[in-house]
Structure 1
Amino acid sequence: MDKIKSVAEQITGGKAPVDPVEGQSAAPSEPKGGKGEFPKPGAFPVESQVDRPVGIQEDMEKKPEPATVQEGEDGFDHYKPAGKLLGKKTIVTGGDSGIGRAAAVMFAMEGADVAIVYLPEEQVDADKTKKLIEAAGRQCLLLPQDIRDEEGCKRVISTVVTQWGHIDVLVNNASVMYSVPDITDISTEQFDRTIKTNIYGTFFLTRAAVPHIPKGGSIIVTASQVAYAGPPMLVDYTMTKAALVGLVRSLSNQLLPKGIRVNAVCPGPVWTPLQPAAMDPSQMKEWHNSPAPIGRIGQPSELGPAYVFLASQDGSFISGQSIHVNGGAIVNG
């Protein structure tokens, strides 16, 4: 336990990542040669990224008022790990920044090795997340991949299984979002991109991963409060998040006999790179001035513990559910 506390101090002390704690040496995140070698960043083929809203956390300047429970750049210093995921092998899509980074780093703080899947243009954020994971004494695999590519998703799973043997936790977190007030202005290209990223990508990765998830494993999907609230400017995005809630319910019933739990986390308004990438300045101002009932916008580090809970034995009696972390909004359904 002292080692775990030491790791938390290393990550959250406001300093650059330091060497792993004694007795927890981090294996190289890029194995040399042989069957276990995985591609370097940029090696996976991707589809065209033209006009795709890619949010980079390092580019975010103006931030909302921080939560009182956290301080520091990433907000991990309030989190107290307890070894809940020791030795687990995990995948987090969109793990380079925002909610995905929070989940990935907290998984590492709890003792898990983490593979993060991200777009090549998000490399700067991915590199930072990797340093935070390795500061916790855990391995981090960097897997740049557009999850709209079915074969690419298969390669992601194959790479992780070759390296680690199996997958204990799969977090389907990556998504794209566009804010368009009028449905007649949603282009077919935008609709196709949103559906394929948010639904196809989740399906492709989950289908490829399930044969490699042992009894006791967990699949977590990032849905959203919008699936229940239906904001008028996010029609296509809302469709995808509602579909993911349905996926969670159905897949839970299918996989529970195998001992695999499936759940969703439904964030409310949270400050991540997705918002400034998808909204124009006026929309951002309106969003920022319409906080959750708690009176502010949430921080990614306030979402991370929900993923740890669902990934660990703490959530062993929970499946097919949507956990709402939304700052007090009442949600039915």
Structure 2
Amino acid sequence: MKKVLITGAAGFLGSHLCDRMIKEGFYVIAMDNLITGDLKNIEHLFPLEQFEFQHHDVTKFVHIPGDLDYILHFASPASPIDYLKIPIQTLKVGALGTHNLLGLAKEKKARILIASTSEIYGDPLVHPQTEEYYGNVNTIGPRGVYDEAKRFQESITMAYHRFHGVETRIVRIFNTYGPRMRLNDGRVIPAFMGQALRGEDLTVFGDGSQTRSFCFVDDEIEGIYRLLMSDYSLPVNIGNPHEITIKEFAEEIINLTGTDQKIIYKPLPQDDPMQRQPDISKAKEILGWEPKVSRQEGMKKTWDFFKTLTAEELRKTEHRDFSDRNKK
């Protein structure tokens, strides 16, 4: 049985990757410091013999005894609310955490896949975004802590690949949604759905003309898995190329939830990208991948998930606690 380490395993994408790797017959070591992750996302896996959980911060030295075949590095705050509250932690996990895991991959001769993001393109001047586009990023803006952490992550990954011969893969993840997202984490879909559940008007920043492209989690995980098993070492966009404006999307949410909320407008946050749409030509050509789940189908599954949350769970997702020890 091959062994895989998944960091950020109690998070949204990390937990779905745990499910997929178990299904594929791997022994899964799930690692998370639970700053933004939730054990509830993986508690169904705890009884399995081929699953273990380690409560650990990857910015500290990472030790895994015995053989290790694969590493999936998904440890990082990924939402604006999170990385604006813990900016230093965000930079550290992108730099120190990635360095530690690349060192582990080198020691174990393991293949490592790094989770990058469409945020490395910043507020793009090229549309749609291809992997060859270098981006338009404000390094000292509030979002820079996340954008630059991911850009450094890609650089050090390629350095380990070229200098040490480590088998590396880099996935650039575009907006992804589905069950296990955390409400009110600053991203569009959980923010809208949280407001719908509470009967609040939907908040659109700017005039709503900015665009996003939303990929359902099952499609995203399939693309990530195919990239991991491929022989391609350069970055690959994995996302849904079907673009929609935020205003149109808010109207879709109102129709989906059957609520009568209005749309209210607030000033656009600094450096919020105006366009986000992946060019997935490489994913199609190299991986034979493209998204299959329609936005209508995926949004219904996501809304059905959020409706099952208890009042206590809704309260917890609304008020995320970052203690002083996490601000170092």
TM-score after normalising by structure 1: 0.55
**Equivalent of 2:75 in 171, 174, 194:** 174
Aligned residue number for residue 325 of structure 1 = 238
Residues 235-257 of structure 1 deviation map (CA, whole Å, 9 limit, x = unaligned): 2111111111212222211243x
Residues 285, 300 of structure 1: CA spacing in aligned structure 2 closer, same or farther, 3 A cutoff?
farther
Mapping 1:87-126, distance limit 5 Å: 87-120=1-34, 122-126=38-42
Query: Aligned partners of 1:261 and 1:252: how far apart in 2?
Result: 6
The whole-number CA distance in structure 2 between the counterparts of 1:212 and 1:264 is: 19
Gaps of 5+ in 1: 1-86, 181-185
CA distance in 2, matches of 1:330, 1:277: 23
Q: Compared with structure 1, are the counterparts of its residues 123 and 103 closer, same or farther at alpha carbon in structure 2 (3 Å cutoff)?
A: closer
Judged with a 3 Å threshold, the aligned counterparts in structure 2 of structure 1 residues 146 and 276 are, in CA distance, closer, same or farther, namely farther
- Equivalent-residue separation in structure 1 for 2:183 and 2:159 (angstroms): 30
**In structure 2, what is the Cα distance between the partners aligned to 1:209 and 1:218?**
6
State how far apart, in whole Å, the 1-side matches of 2:228 and 2:39 are.
26
Please state how far the C-alpha of 1:210 moved relative to its aligned partner.
2.2
Query: 1:265 & 1:285 partners in 2: Cα distance?
Result: 30
Determine if the alignment matches structure 1 residue 266 to structure 2 residue 172.
yes
- Greater relative contact order structure (CA < 8 Å, 6+ sep): 1
Judge conservation of contact 1:292–1:327 (CA < 8 Å) in 2: no
Superposed, 1:208-219 pairs within 5 Å as 208-213=104-109, 217-219=110-112
Partner of 2:116: 223
What is the deviation of 1:223? Answer: 0.4
Any idea what SS the aligned residue of 2:172 has?
Answer: strand
Instruction: Give 3-state SS (helix, strand or coil) of 1:223's partner.
Output: strand
TM-aligned CA deviation for residue 275 of structure 1? 7.3
Which 5+ residue runs of structure 2 have no aligned equivalent? Answer: 124-136, 196-201, 242-276, 281-328
Question: 3-state DSSP class of the match of 2:97?
Answer: helix
Quick one: which amino acid aligns to residue 200 of structure 1? L
2:237–2:278 contact (8 Å) kept in structure 1:
no
Which one has a larger percent strand, Structure 1 or Structure 2?
2
- State the partner residue of 2:184: 276
Aligned twin of 1:306: 223
- Paired position in structure 1 for 2:160: 251
Matched-pair contact (CA < 8 Å) for 1:104–1:114: yes
Shift of 1:106: 1.2
What CA distance in whole angstroms lies between the structure 2 residues aligned with 1:301 and 1:130? 22
Q: Is the 8 A contact 1:95 1:101 kept in 2?
A: yes
Percent of aligned pairs sharing the same letter: 13
Tell me, in whole angstroms, the C-alpha distance in 2 between the residues paired with 1:225 and 1:302.
16
Say whether the 8 Å CA contact 2:238–2:278 is kept in structure 1: no
Q: The residue matched to 2:150 in structure 1 has which SS? A: helix
CA drift at 1:273: 3.4
Q: Which residue in the other structure is 2:53 paired with? A: 142
Instruction: Give distance in 2, aligned partners of 1:190 and 1:303.
Output: 26
Please identify, of 92-101 and 167-176, the stretch whose mean Cα deviation from structure 2 is larger. Answer: 92-101
Taking structure 1 as reference, are residues 91 and 331 closer, same or farther at Cα in structure 2, changes over 3 Å only? same
Partner-residue secondary structure (3-state), 2:117: coil
Q: Quick check: 1:116–1:140 contact (8 Å CA) kept in 2? A: yes
1:47-66 equivalent positions in 2, closer than 5 A: none
Whether 2:87 is the aligned partner of 1:191: answer yes
Residue-pair matches, total? 212
